Structure formats: C-alpha cells, structure tokens
Amino acid sequence: LVHAIEDGTGFVKYALCDEDCQCEVGNDLHLHFHCNKCDETICLTDHKIPQINLPQGFKAENINLIVQGICVKCGNEGADSR
C-alpha cells in the first residue's frame, strides 16, 4: 500500500508503506521532512508522532506533520567542497 503526503509544495507525494504499516488515520504516525533546497520529501519512519487524542465527537480524517529545512545530502554539499 501507499500513503499520501501533503508537504506544502502544492503537490501530493506518495510513499510505499512499510510492511508493518497500518495505513489508517491515526496509525503509523511518523514525521515527514521536506528539504527546502532539493525539494525532496522523506519519510522519517523511525521518528514516531505521539498519539493525538481529540475531544469527544471529533474524528480525524488526516494527520500530517512536516518538518521543513535542509536535508543531510544538501547540508553536506558545501562541506564536500572544502
């Protein structure tokens, strides 16, 4: 299965789910990282988001947490030229 990632770029990106992924809202909650330099979005599956408890009567239809910055590859490009 795949899951959709809305990373703020205006384009929906898709990633293959891990074998143990539940791919339902509220399950397999992990961070996504969007690099502002190379425009790549990366699943950080080892960094889980704590369970979100909504007030009674609320039902989540989508949970999306994006960290934006510079990825390791782009961050190391300047260091390689030294």
Predicted local confidence at residue 73, as pLDDT? 94
**What's the CA gap between 38 and 48, in Å, rounded?**
24
Q: Over the chain (82 residues), what is each successive 10-residue block's mean pLDDT?
A: 70 67 58 90 83 90 85 83 54
**What's the CA gap between 30 and 44, in Å, rounded?**
6
**What's the CA gap between 74 and 54, in Å, rounded?**
37
pTM for the full predicted model: 0.64
